[in-house]
Amino acid sequence: MHSLLNCLLDNLAHGILLVDKEYRVVLWNGWMERVSGLNKADVIGKKVSVVCPCFVELKFRRMLMDTIVRGQNCFFAGILHHDFVSPKNVEISQEAKRQNMQIEAFYHQGETFALIQINDITVQYRRVHCLQNMIKRLEMDVKAVKKAEERARQSALYDPLTGVCNRNSLFERLEYVMNQAKRAGWLVAVLFIDLDGFKIINDMHGHITGDNLIKEVAVRLKQTVRQTDIVARFGGDEFVVILPNIYDPAEANYVGQKIRHSIDEKFNLDGKIVSITASIGISLYPSDADNVENLLKKADQAMYSVKAFGKNDCQFASTM
């Protein structure tokens, strides 16, 4: 039975080391022999700090003492301390080895011992490391997907040149605010804005200047209206501004004139001073139309009417 237990101890998959109160090794199992390269016969009776050099360090010696004197149990994590029994094969890197160590008080026939158990967690450590890297990669993939989604959402809803709403989202938003206005009893104003003589500026100064002018016009439009109002680029040099909740048509005219005056101010485009004006047609929901297409069409017609009568002005569809 005794030899069976010894055989069992020697075949355990972790290190077992028993130390008496004089800090001398009493038991050194097969795992300890295999890993350290030190034979049982050479180790038994020797001071533990001689055969297991980690106990030269004060912190581990103190813990061992606490176990023997006070009965306290200790645990040391391999992720913090690397290893406690250095491998006999010096070619194996210290970095690569990870061991957990557990020291507990062990009492037998009135004697106190410290039972030291060492587990090799190198494989587990590597697996955790792989898992961490996998989590990092997944996080990065998720971030990349989210960024791509955001970019797709931006290009689906916003005009890439100016950053204001594009034609598609204009239709959606106008429908939404019309529904809201219907419930709340508000008016919705649609201001159709076309720049006067934009083609001439494009031809004279080039497309880059033309694009810069479009961008600056969008900036001025956003600065002129409230945050709750909607600015959209309809296409080319055409913009639409929606005033979602007004009570009096005069408010729409007031905003239209403000827009006209803001565009009337000279633009400085990379040192080139450019002047332009805007013609604005205004339609109102529900009096001019009760659907998106007709409301935009009425505002567009009003804008053409302004163009026909001298440009640089505002006109309501209802006065045509």
Partner 1 sequence: MMLSEMQQDALTEFFNICVGQAAGMLSEIVNRKIKLSIPVIDLLSADDITASYFDSCIGDSSGHVMSSSLQFGQEYNGKAFLLFPVDQAKLLVNICLNEISDNAIIYDQQELLDTDFDVIKEIGNIILNSVVGGLGNLLVTKLTYSLPEVEMLFVSTEKQADLLQNNIYAFMMKTMFSIENTQFSGTILIIFGMDSVTRLIAKIDDMLEESDAFTS
Q: Rounded to the nearest whole angstrom, what is the least distance from the CB of residue 12 to partner 1 in the complex? A: 17
Rounded CA separation 172/229 (Å): 14
Task: Establish if 74 lies at the interface with partner 1 (CB under 8 A).
Answer: yes
Residue with tokens 């163009």: 307
- Stretch 15-54: interaction string toward partner 1, x if CB under 8 A: ----------------------------------------
Segment contacting partner 1 by CB under 8 A, of 100-108, 156-164, 165-173, 276-284: 100-108
Answer for which of 106, 113, 125, 285 binds partner 1 (CB under 8 A) is 125
Stretch that binds partner 1, among 20-28, 69-77, 159-167, 250-258 (CB under 8 A): 69-77
Residue 292 CA neighbour count, 13 Å, CB half = 15
CA distance 308 to 148: 45
> How many CB atoms lie under 10 A from the CB of residue 276?
20
Residue with Cβ nearer partner 1 (133 or 154)? 133
Does residue 114 touch partner 1 according to CB under 8 A? no
Min dist. Cβ of residue 105 to partner 1 (A): 8
**Choice between 103 and 269, CB closer to partner 1:** 103
Contact status: 94 vs partner 1 (CB under 8 A): no
Among 121, 188, 217, 232, binds partner 1 (CB under 8 A): 121
Q: Does 72 bind partner 1 (CB under 8 A)?
A: yes
Q: Is 111 in the site for partner 1 (CB under 8 A)?
A: no
Nearest approach in angstroms of CB 150 to partner 1 is: 19
In the sheet where 25-28 sits, what is the strand order? 25-28, 15-19, 111-120, 99-108, 74-76
Question: How many residues bind partner 1, per CB under 8 A?
Answer: 29
Amino acid at position 45, single letter: G
CA gap 231, 214 in Å, rounded: 13
Distance between CA atoms of residues 64 and 72, nearest Å: 9
131 in contact with partner 1 (CB under 8 A): yes
On whether the CB atoms of residues 161 and 210 are closer than 8 A, the answer is no
Burial of residue 302 (CB within 10 Å: 0-12, 13-18, 19+) is buried
Q: How far is CA 166 from CA 43, 219, 270, in A?
A: 82, 15, 26
Residue 77 or 308 with smaller CB distance to partner 1: 77
Instruction: State the residues that interact with partner 1 by CB under 8 A.
Output: 58-59, 62, 66, 70-80, 100, 102, 104-105, 121, 124-125, 128, 131-132, 135-136, 139-140
